[in-house]
């Protein structure tokens, strides 16, 4: 069987493209699943395909409707904290290979903790999947990434409507809820953290695309990284309006 591109779901099993770092991600998921966290259980990989179990709950495009309440945001922060805590002290395999350049920072970060990668039930985050770009990092890396999506640091009305937000959107309350759910205690310059993480995310897409990985190679060819550049200015503008 050759390399697959798309994700296939068959009952309880998710088939995804195998990557050079799949063995490392499976080792991490084995640890987390074994510790009782609601993440995919790795089944096997080979022939270009990795297989993991489906995390129960609603996800993907159905996730937007579940993350509208402030309590929903808090639950996502809480779950991210539990997952991070469970990686403390875990030793990656000696031949570990992660998708992106990294610097160890005490935990292993998911790398893409946006609403669509959480599984939801009745507006509460009950699972976290799509661990492809996990990497050892500091907690702020994932927290800042999540804040961009959960606040959100976006002000395009069409995009906000698509995600289900209306004029009642209270970004300050959502930022506070995510940090509160996570149990974040240190002072934090949210806008600085979010924009640094946004730039890293763009750089990582270029890194993966230049190495021929999919779908990033297509994104780079289509010029997406350049078009994402203005996201940092958007986040600064939103932050300024909020007085953050």
Ligand X SMILES: Nc1ncnc2c1ncn2[C@@H]1O[C@H](COP(=O)(O)OP(=O)(O)OP(=O)(O)O)[C@@H](O)[C@H]1O
Residues that bind ligand X (CB under 6 A): 7, 14, 16, 40, 52, 54-55, 59-60, 116-117, 119, 129-130
Q: How far is the CB of 57 from ligand X (least distance, A)?
A: 7
For residue 8, what is the enclosing H or E element?
strand 8-10
Pick the closer one to ligand X by CB: 52 or 191.
Answer: 52
Q: Which of 117, 141, 200, 216 binds Mg ion (CB under 5 A)?
A: 117
Residue with smaller CB distance to ligand X, 28 or 244: 28
Give the residue with the Cβ less far from ligand X, 71 or 218.
218
Number of helices followed by number of strands (H, E) in the chain: 10, 8
Going from the C-alpha of 24 to that of each of 84, 93, 112, 131, the distances in angstroms are 16, 7, 17, 10
Rule CB under 5 A: say whether 130 interacts with Mg ion.
Answer: yes
Angle between helices 190-210 and 231-242 (to 10 degrees): 170
Two tokens, residue 63:
């996730």
52 binds, among Mg ion, ligand X, none (CB under 5 to 8 A by kind): ligand X
Chain position carrying tokens 């599984």: 119
CB of 220 to ligand X, least distance (A): 16
Nearest residue to 113 (alpha-carbon basis) of 26, 201, 50, 47: 201
C-alpha to C-alpha distance for 187 and 18, rounded to whole angstroms: 39
User: Nearer Cβ to ligand X, position 14 or 32?
Assistant: 14
Shortest reach from residue 7's CB to ligand X, in Å: 4
The binder of 205, among Mg ion, ligand X, none, by C-beta within 5 to 8 A per type, is: none
């Amino acid at each position: 069987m050759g390399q697959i591109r798309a994700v296939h779901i068959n009952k309880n099993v998710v088939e995804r493209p195998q990557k050079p770092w799949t063995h490392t991600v499976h080792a991490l998921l084995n640890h987390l699943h074994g510790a009782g966290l609601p993440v995919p259980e790795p089944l096997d990989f080979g022939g270009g395909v990795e297989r993991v179990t489906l995390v129960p709950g609603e996800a993907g495009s159905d996730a937007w409707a579940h993350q509208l309440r402030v309590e929903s945001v808090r639950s996502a922060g809480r779950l991210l904290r539990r997952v991070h805590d469970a990686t403390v002290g875990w030793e990656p395999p000696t031949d570990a290979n992660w998708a992106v350049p990294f610097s160890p920072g005490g935990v292993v970060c998911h790398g893409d903790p946006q609403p669509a990668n959480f599984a939801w039930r009745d507006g509460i985050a009950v699972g976290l999947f799509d661990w492809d770009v996990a990497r050892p990092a500091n907690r702020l890396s994932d927290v800042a990434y999540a804040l961009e999506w959960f606040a959100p640091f976006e002000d395009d009305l069409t995009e906000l409507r698509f995600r289900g937000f209306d004029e009642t959107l209270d970004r300050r309350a959502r930022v506070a809820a995510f940090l509160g759910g996570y149990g974040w205690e240190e002072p934090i310059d949210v806008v600085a953290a979010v924009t640094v993480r946004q730039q890293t995310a763009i750089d990582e897409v270029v890194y993966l695309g230049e190495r021929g990985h999919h779908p990033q190679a297509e994104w780079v060819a289509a010029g997406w990284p350049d078009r994402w550049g203005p996201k940092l200015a958007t986040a600064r503008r939103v932050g300024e309006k909020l007085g953050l």
